[in-house]
Structure formats: C-alpha cells, structure tokens
C-alpha cells in the first residue's frame, strides 16, 4: 500500500482541498462532526452500520493508501483538537504523509498506540492505581510489542481491561481519592479499545478519544487532594447536629473547589490530544524511511539483475 498511490500531484491537490475544508471549522463541535475532506464518511466501530452493506468500513483509507487505523485515528484527533489546530489539522496531516510511504510497513499505528499506552511520562500505564489496572494495561502493551496475531489473546486482553476498568462512578461529585481511582478505570477503558483494534481497526477512534479522560480525572484528583475540604470543618454540637447555614456555606465552597478542578482537568484532557497529534504527525513524517529504503533496495537489485 503506497500513500497517494505514489502520485505527488495527487497529494498536492488533496492537501489544497483539505486545507480549504479546514476553514469551515468553527466553534460548533456539532458542526465539526459534519465536515469531511474525503469522499467517504466514517463508520464508527462501536455503532451498527446503517448503510446496508454498501460500506466497507474503511473510511478514506483506500482513497489515499493508508491503514484503516490511521484514518480513524486522524478523525478522532480532529474532533478533539482546539479550533485553531483543527482548522489546519487536515493540511498538516496530509502533508506529513510521504508520497509512496507504506504506513503499514512503518507500523505507524502500533507506534502511536504504544506511545499512548506506555510513554514514560504520559502513557496510560502511569494512571493505573490497582494491581488489576496495571496488569490489564501491561497486557495490552505486551501484545502490541510482540506484534501478536493471536485473536484469542487480544480478546482476553480486551476482557481483562474491561473488568479492570469497571467503575463505581455514579455521576456525582468525586473527592480526590475517588477521582484518582477513576483515572485508573478510564485508562483501562481506553486500553480495552486499543485491544479491540486487532479485530476492528476502526476502534482506533475510540481508543484515542477515551485516553484523554484519565488526564482529566487525574488532574482533578490532584487538585482536590491539595485543597482543604470545607465540609469537614463544619462544627458539630454536643448532640451531633450541625448548623444548617454553616453546612450549606461549606458545601458551596466545596462545589467551587470542585468546579475549579473540573476546569483544570478539562484543560489537561485537551492538552493530551494536542500532544498525541504532534507525535502522530512526526510518526507519519518518519515513515518515509521505510518506503524510501525499499525503493533504494529495488533499484540496487535491478542494477545487478
């Protein structure tokens, strides 16, 4: 599979068109989901396709000669990036892919997955809290590192990550300890989607999107743990009763602290997508070494044939 069918003019034309489509990005997240630069709409792996057999579930992968996981990873990041980056994202993405590169051979998706899962500073493994979290995420990492082709092994890893990521979160406000554990659960949830990519590479989209949430909960947990809990300071009289007014005031203060944690957490989640997108572009640029090396080898073989 050669990117852009090894046609430089086709790439240049597509880059220009994609750049013009990027200008349609606005501050409406809903509108962004309706914008495409390709001839094909995407078909998320987690939903039942409504196109009655007419869809090959490959998005634009065949259109420009890239793996399905790469196409779905690109779409996922586009939907999460801030407006300014999203407007130029398609141009940056297409420009980063070398003409004629073989992204399968360069293992771009594998490298991106391992970066998100196992990076020393920002990998999902850093968010694991329980032994079950650690084992589940390490299990998925090991399969990627081994280039495992055993379907059953991937299914087991998927199930292990789902079980480890089971959360008791009921939608209410969390304290620091609860949020820290939730970050570990979110990391396992993302890891299970990375494992599902073996059977269906479209899940690259969900894997990258879900990976950002552990950052939100972790930063929220750190914020809440660094702040005094005003509710704990509400005085109790000799009969074990609290003053209603004091309790309401403390509750309001705690909500303000929690809201600040939410804002910090959301900023961290968004920064994750920016960081991953930059790494993704670099992996694409570096993929030229694989295809370039093969072209040189073919030329040498032809010379001595």
- Alpha-carbon dihedral angle through residues 9, 15, 17, 23, given to the nearest 10 degrees: -160
Task: Return the pLDDT at 6.
Answer: 92
Report how many domains make up the chain.
Answer: 2
Are residue 293 and residue 178 in the same domain, yes or no? Answer: no
Where on the phi/psi map is residue 303: left (φ > 0), alpha (ψ -120 to 50), or beta?
Answer: alpha
Q: Is 271 exposed, middle or buried (0-12, 13-18, 19+ CB in 10 A)?
A: middle
For the chain, 305 residues long, give each residue's pLDDT as a single digit of tens: 899 999 999 999 999 999 999 999 986 656 888 899 998 888 888 777 777 667 888 999 999 999 999 999 999 999 999 999 999 999 999 999 999 999 999 999 999 999 999 999 999 999 999 999 999 999 999 999 999 999 999 999 999 999 999 987 777 788 899 999 999 999 999 999 999 999 999 999 999 999 999 999 999 999 999 988 766 665 666 656 656 666 677 677 878 988 999 999 999 999 999 999 999 999 999 998 654 444 444 443 444 44
How far is 279 from 286, CA to CA, in rounded Å? 11
Are residue 238 and residue 249 in the same domain, yes or no? Answer: yes
Are residue 266 and residue 240 in the same domain, yes or no? Answer: yes
Are residue 72 and residue 209 in the same domain, yes or no? Answer: no
Are residue 112 and residue 238 in the same domain, yes or no? Answer: yes
Are residue 95 and residue 133 in the same domain, yes or no? Answer: no
- Alpha-carbon dihedral angle through residues 208, 188, 30, 276, given to the nearest 10 degrees: -30
Are residue 225 and residue 296 in the same domain, yes or no? Answer: no
How far is 282 from 276, CA to CA, in rounded Å? 10
Q: In terms of residues, how long is the chain?
A: 305
Are residue 58 and residue 179 in the same domain, yes or no? Answer: no
Task: Return the pLDDT at 293.
Answer: 43
How far is 9 from 15, CA to CA, in rounded Å? 10
Widest CA span of the chain, in angstroms? Answer: 98
Find all residues with CB under 8 Å of 91, minimum gap 6, and list them: 15, 18, 19, 22
Are residue 234 and residue 183 in the same domain, yes or no? Answer: yes
* β-pair partners for 236: 242
How far is 177 from 90, CA to CA, in rounded Å? 40
- Name the residue among 118, 126, 111 with its Cα closest to residue 69: 111
The parent domain of residue 272 ranges over 108-285
Task: Return the pLDDT at 198.
Answer: 97
Are the C-beta atoms of residues 80 and 273 closer than 8 Å to each other? yes
Are residue 61 and residue 140 in the same domain, yes or no? Answer: no
Are residue 175 and residue 185 in the same domain, yes or no? Answer: yes
In this structure, what token pair is assigned to residue 91?
């141009």
In this structure, what token pair is assigned to residue 88?
């130029």
Are residue 144 and residue 89 in the same domain, yes or no? Answer: no
Task: Return the pLDDT at 48.
Answer: 76
In this structure, what token pair is assigned to residue 66?
């890239």
């Amino acid at each position: 599979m050669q990117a852009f069918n090894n046609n430089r003019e086709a790439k240049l034309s597509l880059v220009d068109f994609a750049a013009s489509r990027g200008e349609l990005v606005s501050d409406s997240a809903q509108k962004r989901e309706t914008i495409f630069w390709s001839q094909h709409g995407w078909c998320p792996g987690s939903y039942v396709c409504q196109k009655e057999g007419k869809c090959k579930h490959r998005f634009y992968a065949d259109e420009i000669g890239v793996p399905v996981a790469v196409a779905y990873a690109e779409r996922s990041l586009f939907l999460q990036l801030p407006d300014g980056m999203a407007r130029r994202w398609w141009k940056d993405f297409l420009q980063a892919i070398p003409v004629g590169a073989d992204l399968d051979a360069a293992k771009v998706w594998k490298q991106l997955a391992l970066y998100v899962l196992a990076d020393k500073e920002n990998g999902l493994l850093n968010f694991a809290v329980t032994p079950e979290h650690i084992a589940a995420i390490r299990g998925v990492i090991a399969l990627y590192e081994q280039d495992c082709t055993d379907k059953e092994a991937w299914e087991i890893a998927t199930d292990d990550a789902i079980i480890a990521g089971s959360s008791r979160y009921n939608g209410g406000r969390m304290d620091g300890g609860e949020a820290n554990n939730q970050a570990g659960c979110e990391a396992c949830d993302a890891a299970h989607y990375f494992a599902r990519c073996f059977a269906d590479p479209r899940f690259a989209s969900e894997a990258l999107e879900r990976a950002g949430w552990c950052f939100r909960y972790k930063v929220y947990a750190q914020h809440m743990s660094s702040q005094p809990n005003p509710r704990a300071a509400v005085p109790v009289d000799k009969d074990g009763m609290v003053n209603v007014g004091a309790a309401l005031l403390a509750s309001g203060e705690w909500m303000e602290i929690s809201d600040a944690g939410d804002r910090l957490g959301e900023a961290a989640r968004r920064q994750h997508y920016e960081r991953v997108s930059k790494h993704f572009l670099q992996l694409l640029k570096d993929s030229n070494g694989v295809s370039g090396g093969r072209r040189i080898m073919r030329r040498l073989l032809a010379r001595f044939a």
